[in-house]
């Protein structure tokens, strides 16, 4: 009550005390360096000690390990991932301001820190232990964690020792073995309402922080950097301190045997934002990288398509209103707004524009290519006409090469940790010897098969396919003209093609079946499938997700015509 200074982060005066005696803001969870001053030093003699002092929790065990908690492990993972993103050029405040505050809020909401003692089954399990110990059971004290800044912690979070000793006794009484203090309890507890932390959720945290800062990194790029090894995810626990022993259920929590899936990380991010009761995110305006106009420009360059197509993508974005701030900005917990996948949406707009101009029905685009080829033979002035057939051949050749490289890299991926894991001093020599034998055998087989040693990781890039206009072989189509497919009408350039085919007439219920439309390759033209496959490679997602967005854009674009057609069909049936 005597501490009336305003919080440096949110300017509120709403302070609480951590277990360590430091002040933290109840509004934004900012922890200060100020500690509570002792006003009264009087004490009652011959009183019984009721509280165990801090600093003794991290006592070493016989095998050289120490007590640690699952949330400490996840904090280390987030710290490593945030540092990797900083190295990629992300704003430095992401780690210690945005991501750290999200993490503190999550710990409070999930009742792991800055709250009363956890209630429910855990307290019942601990009641027997607490009744036999001389520890403080005051429920008003913040429980379990006193969280430091992500840059200050090395997995050494100060923990309520009374709770730690109790959990240790419960862990020892269970038959399931775990290196962490609460590993078995972590998987036993029913945390559906509390949104239990998982490895894919660490990426949801990172993406949420990137989105808050409006950083120029899409979710597909984030996941690609993970697969390429620029952001720690696979076997990240090998960076844990030596004293944090992992075994049993800990490996189920931190060991991953598959790459993160776009949909899972995306959906968890939205669940997380709603769970934390976050306010409306900063506005996505037309000057932000995540705006469809900006992303369409990027993907047109990467797909080696003419620059003139950008005017058409901007027209589509403006006509259907998907470039509006309210449509693009995330509002957590608002179920009436659609969750926007910025990268997938931009790719879908490009696909719709290609259908508007070239139809993509395996016939019309080839006729236009023949016409453009004839005009290019006689054209001596201006840029060449865009030939869809030639573009298809050039891009397909490059795409096949890159896809083969990607498949080879995935086949060579070592899912097992390079750092040997041993859980006791007795087994250390055996594990190290066995690991050395494996490495020697791999080297010998590598020499016999003539395989080349793996080169160093290339520097990360936002572009997977690069095309230079300086090439004399004509493989770059950025400067090509669309005159062969456009005509002037009433002072405006319109498509020569008057037709358009819809992917689906009626959209499905996304909540019931998970998709707005069903995609089967055999039911659609090969040109359309090739374009979907191209953007599927660039975004590293399934073509069906891009197809969903294409259907959504089409229904927004032709909403009035579809409504009239459906109404006319209903009248005929009656």
Six token digits for residue 83: 């540092």
The Cα–Cα gap between 295 and 301 comes to 10
409 pLDDT above the threshold of 50? yes
Q: What's 136-172 look like in SS3?
A: CCCCCCCCCCECCCCCCCCCCCECCHHHHHHHHHHHH
> Of the ranges 65-79, 481-495, 541-555, which is most confident?
541-555
Report percent pLDDT > 90 for the chain. Answer: 40
Contacts of 484 (CB under 8 A, 6+ apart): 368, 371, 372, 375, 385, 386
Residue with tokens 């704003």: 91
Quickly list H helices, 233-328.
Answer: 249-254, 262-275, 292-302, 309-320, 325-328
165 pLDDT above the threshold of 50? no
The Cα–Cα gap between 547 and 533 comes to 10
Are 78 and 103 in contact, with CB atoms under 8 Å apart?
A: yes
The Cα–Cα gap between 105 and 451 comes to 49
The confidence score (pLDDT) of residue 513 equals 64
Are 360 and 527 in contact, with CB atoms under 8 Å apart?
A: yes
The confidence score (pLDDT) of residue 155 equals 37
The Cα–Cα gap between 525 and 363 comes to 9
The confidence score (pLDDT) of residue 48 equals 42
**For range 432-459, the mean pLDDT:** 71
Q: Which residue has the higher pLDDT, 237 or 340?
A: 340
DSSP 355-400: HHHH--SSSHHHHHHHHHHHHHHH--SSSPBP-HHHHHHHHHHHHH
The confidence score (pLDDT) of residue 168 equals 45
The Cα–Cα gap between 136 and 143 comes to 11
Six token digits for residue 145: 């964690």
If we measure between CA atoms, which residue out of 16, 357, 40, 84 comes closest to residue 230? 84
Q: Please write the tens of the pLDDT for every residue from 523-534.
A: 899 999 999 999
Six token digits for residue 360: 């993509």
Are 158 and 58 in contact, with CB atoms under 8 Å apart?
A: no
The confidence score (pLDDT) of residue 451 equals 59
37 pLDDT above the threshold of 70? no
Q: Which residues of 390-414 are buried (b: 16+ CB within 10 A; e: fewer)?
A: bbbebbeeebeeeeeeeeeeeeeee
Q: How many helices (H) and strands (E) does the chain have?
A: 21, 5
Bridge-based pairing of strands 22-25 and 31-35 is: antiparallel
Give CA separation, 561 vs 10, 501, 558, 565, in Å.
50, 13, 5, 6
Q: Please write the tens of the pLDDT for every residue from 356-396.
A: 999 999 999 999 999 998 888 887 677 889 999 999 999 99
If we measure between CA atoms, which residue out of 23, 22, 21, 18 comes closest to residue 6? 23
Beta carbons within 10 angstroms of residue 67's beta carbon = 23
The confidence score (pLDDT) of residue 144 equals 33
206 pLDDT above the threshold of 50? yes
Beta bridge partners of 128: none
Average pLDDT, the chain: 78
Q: What is the largest CA-CA distance in the chain?
A: 106
Q: Which residue has the higher pLDDT, 96 or 209?
A: 209
pLDDT class for 271, splitting at 50, 70, 90? very high
The confidence score (pLDDT) of residue 438 equals 76
What SS3 class is residue 111?
coil
Quickly list H helices, 68-160.
Answer: 70-87, 93, 100-109, 121-131
**For range 269-283, the mean pLDDT:** 95
CA atoms in the 13 A half-sphere facing the CB of 210: 28
The confidence score (pLDDT) of residue 435 equals 73
If we measure between CA atoms, which residue out of 164, 184, 194, 192 comes closest to residue 250? 184
The confidence score (pLDDT) of residue 323 equals 95
Are 210 and 94 in contact, with CB atoms under 8 Å apart?
A: yes
The Cα–Cα gap between 17 and 114 comes to 9
> Of the ranges 6-15, 126-135, 360-369, which is most confident?
360-369
Are 70 and 182 in contact, with CB atoms under 8 Å apart?
A: yes
DSSP state of 424: S
Are 209 and 222 in contact, with CB atoms under 8 Å apart?
A: no
The Cα–Cα gap between 531 and 361 comes to 12
Are 329 and 282 in contact, with CB atoms under 8 Å apart?
A: yes
Are 484 and 368 in contact, with CB atoms under 8 Å apart?
A: yes
Give the length of the chain: 574
List the single range of 174-178, 279-283, 312-316, 507-511 with lowest mean pLDDT.
174-178
The Cα–Cα gap between 342 and 328 comes to 8
> Of the ranges 173-177, 260-264, 487-491, 493-497, which is most confident?
260-264
Six token digits for residue 487: 């005509």
80 pLDDT above the threshold of 90? yes
The Cα–Cα gap between 205 and 373 comes to 50
CA dihedral 454, 457, 462, 468 (to 10 degrees): -60
The Cα–Cα gap between 318 and 561 comes to 18
If we measure between CA atoms, which residue out of 178, 246, 215 comes closest to residue 462? 215
Six token digits for residue 167: 């959990």
């Amino acid at each position: 009550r005597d501490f009336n200074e305003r919080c440096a982060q949110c300017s509120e005066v709403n302070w609480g005390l951590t277990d360590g005696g430091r002040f933290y803001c109840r509004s934004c969870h900012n922890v200060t360096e100020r500690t509570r001053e002792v006003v009264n030093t009087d004490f009652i003699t011959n009183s019984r000690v009721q509280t165990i002092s801090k600093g003794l929790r991290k006592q070493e065990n016989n095998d050289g390990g120490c007590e640690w908690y699952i949330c400490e492990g996840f904090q280390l993972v987030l710290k490593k991932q945030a540092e990797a993103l900083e190295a990629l050029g992300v704003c430095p405040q992401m780690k210690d301001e945005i991501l750290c505050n999200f993490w503190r809020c999550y710990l409070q909401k999930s009742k792991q820190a800055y709250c009363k003692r956890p209630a429910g089954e855990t307290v019942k399990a601990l009641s027997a232990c607490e009744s036999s110990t001389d520890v403080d059971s005051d429920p008003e004290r913040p429980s379990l964690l006193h969280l430091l800044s992500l840059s200050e912690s090395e997995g050494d979070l100060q923990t309520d020792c009374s709770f730690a000793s109790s959990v240790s006794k419960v862990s020892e009484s269970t038959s399931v073995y775990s290196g962490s203090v609460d590993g078995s309890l972590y998987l036993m507890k029913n945390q559906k309402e509390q949104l239990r932390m998982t490895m894919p959720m660490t990426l949801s945290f990172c993406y949420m922080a990137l989105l808050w800062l409006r950083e120029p990194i899409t979710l597909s790029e984030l996941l690609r950097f993970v697969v390429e090894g620029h952001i720690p995810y696979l076997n990240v626990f090998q960076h844990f301190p030596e004293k944090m022993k992992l075994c049993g259920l800990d490996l189920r929590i931190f060991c991953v045997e598959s790459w993160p899936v776009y949909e899972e990380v995306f959906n968890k991010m939205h669940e997380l934002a709603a769970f934390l009761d976050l306010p409306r995110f900063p506005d996505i305006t037309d000057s932000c990288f995540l705006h469809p106009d900006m992303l369409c420009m990027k993907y047109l360059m990467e797909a080696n398509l003419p620059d003139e197509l950008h005017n058409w993508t901007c027209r589509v974005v403006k006509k259907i209103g998907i470039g509006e701030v309210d449509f693009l900005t995330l509002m957590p917990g608002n179920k009436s707004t659609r969750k926007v996948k910025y990268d997938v949406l931009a790719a879908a707009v490009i696909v719709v524009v290609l259908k508007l101009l070239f139809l993509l029905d395996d016939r019309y685009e080839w006729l236009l290519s023949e016409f453009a080829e004839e005009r290019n033979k006689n054209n001596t002035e201006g840029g060449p006409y865009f030939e869809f057939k030639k573009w298809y051949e050039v891009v397909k050749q490059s795409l096949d090469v890159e896809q083969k490289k990607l498949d080879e890299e995935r086949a060579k991926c070592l899912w097992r940790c390079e750092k040997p894991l041993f859980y006791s001093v007795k087994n250390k020599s055996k594990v190290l010897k066995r690991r050395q034998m494996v490495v020697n055998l791999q080297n010998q087989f590598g020499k016999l098969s003539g395989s080349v040693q793996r080169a160093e990781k290339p520097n990360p890039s936002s572009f997977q396919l690069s095309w230079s206009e300086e090439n004399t072989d004509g493989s770059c189509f950025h400067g090509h003209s669309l005159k062969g497919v456009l005509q002037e009408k009433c002072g405006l350039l319109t498509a020569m093609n008057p037709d358009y085919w819809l992917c689906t007439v009626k959209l499905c219920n996304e909540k019931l079946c998970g998709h707005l439309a069903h995609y089967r390759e055999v039911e659609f033209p090969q040109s359309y499938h090739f374009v979907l496959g191209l953007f599927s490679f660039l975004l590293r997602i399934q073509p069906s997700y891009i197809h969903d967005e294409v259907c959504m854009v089409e229904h927004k674009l032709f909403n009035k015509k579809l409504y009239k057609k459906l109404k006319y069909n209903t009248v005929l049936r009656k």
